[in-house]
Structure 1
Amino acid sequence: MKFKLGDFVRFVDEKREGYVTKIIDTQTLGVTDEDGFEIPVAISNLTSVHGHGAAAEEVTAPKPIEVNIPLVSKIENGIYIAAATDNKVGNVVHFHLYNQSPNVLLVGLTTERKEKYAGTFHGVVEAYQSSLVYSASLADLDIWPQFTFQIIIFSKADVKPVDPLVIKKKFRAKDFSTEQKELPQLNNKGWLIRLDDLAPITIDAQKLKESFFKSADEKRTVAIPAKEIDLHIEKLRDDHHFLEPDEILQIQLNYFQNALDAAIVHHFDKMTFIHGTGNGTLRNKIHKLISKNPHIKTYMDAMKEKFGYGATEVVFK
């Protein structure tokens, strides 16, 4: 019988049940019981509780959390991971791909550990719904694999298709160090981590050039940005404490590039980006991008008496 991570199983030779939280080898699985202990068990000594057949239907053991999340106005549209602890086995975390958007997602999840890859989930996640994609034991957090999500975004509306997303995420202890919050429609607590703005933005120079010749009505589809853009991560994301430094930098650069492109489309004469001082990484990255942009005349430190060296003013041609 084939098992996968997150399956609820029963031991054949003793009265014990739990979730599959580790694939040790082709003959052995790690099963975490209700006391939170992960036990190596031979596959031949396990039977599926939620498989097909009468025996499985008679079992009243708790099922893995199934999420069907409708639109919740308090959560910004986007693609998230909802990490929920199991109601019975508190040491087990179930990961749900949470589609908080009006689009349909075609999703593939591949895990990688020590250059060994495993396809762990593929499927369709409808608008404002979610799917269980992975389960693991918190005790093994240090050896969890890296997650790679491949996502195709489909819309039934009259909109231009967007490029597929490839999002990499390595979960770390600090992702689960904050207090758990109530997750919408789950009747459970856990963590909500946004994924879709971790993907790098690819700038199409030709499309940007074409945007200059659009009509006024067409340009209204690109929101007019503020003249002063604050790139501090706490201004951009409420869940910034979940993020790694490289993820924070990518989000800031994406936000910068979107604002810069919008300013060019709307023929701004100048714009100020507040990046702070810190170790200078964000400032240097921004200056490098600015220096290569053909639509920028010059740039300089902005209002030193107000920002010190923590902001850059961009002057457009």
Structure 2
Amino acid sequence: MNIGDKVRMLRAKEQGVVTRFLPGNQVEIEIEDGFRIPVLRSEIVVVSALESTRFQSAPGIEAQKSAKPEIISSAGIYLAFVPQNGPGNLKIVVAYLVNNTDWDLPFSIGEERENRYSGLYAEVLKARSFFKLGQPYALATFENWPTFLIQALWHRRGAASLREPLIRRLKCRTQSFQASSGPIPVLNQTGHVFQLDVEDVEEEKPVAKEAAKPLDATALRESLMGNTGKKELSAKEPAKLVRPSSIIDLHIDKLLPNGFGSRTNAELLEVQLQEFEKNLEKAIASGMDDITFIHGVGNGVLRNELHRRLGKYPGVAYFEDAQKEKFGYGATKVKIK
């Protein structure tokens, strides 16, 4: 289930579009009257795009026209950063503008440095597509990254009303960057992702130089680059990205020592996958050579899903079964680029 998917409630008649994920295994959906409501994931199902064609009326019988209007996904614009290895194993990220809505997006994107603006690109981003920014950004110079300014118009053929233009400034900060790791819609990769078209998005306003926080950025750079040398400490040390253990046990009783509660098998699998992706991202960002995940043998569902996702990670060189004499066939060793 992704942001922008059309969904139907199991215990009610409403349909809607997923606009964002909420804590407590809930999602926010926008129903047809424009209201956004929180719903448990277990209470909704994704509506297949083939449903309307598979269930048409039989020949000779006039198909009934739905009284409900077409559901249009109107939220899901992101600026995302995908980690990669640059020349000489330099840790870099590549930026993408992602459109996971049913609207076309004529846009421009530029950089602001010391209150000076520099335009980068002006294109039309089609619905359900992405645009890759040409220049990479090095994590070693994180504190010198610019403020990104994104301006866009909303266009959809036959739209019955105008929408306010989208104007967002985004300045990456240490804590928000660390907390933004997750799957990127449309792009189907994992990285650091910021949604731009929500009202509560943390927007960076132009500020004087005194308001900058270089200490936080330095801490992020050192943690991501794996520096373990002497560091300056302050009374309020920012949260640092700590290297994970080289062996991560994904058995569910280890992750949920207080019991499983009422979680379904699918929800328990999601807990394991989130722990896997969190530790893999930290291992890649902190420059580890390899990391091993203990998934057990079981029915092979967790192992197969880990291998499927590992095959798509740009920061993974290869993966293989870990030492059989130590783990049997229940662990996978991941070699990091």
Give 1 or 2 for the bigger CA radius of gyration: 1
* TM-score (norm. length: structure 2): 0.36
* TM-score (norm. length: structure 1): 0.38
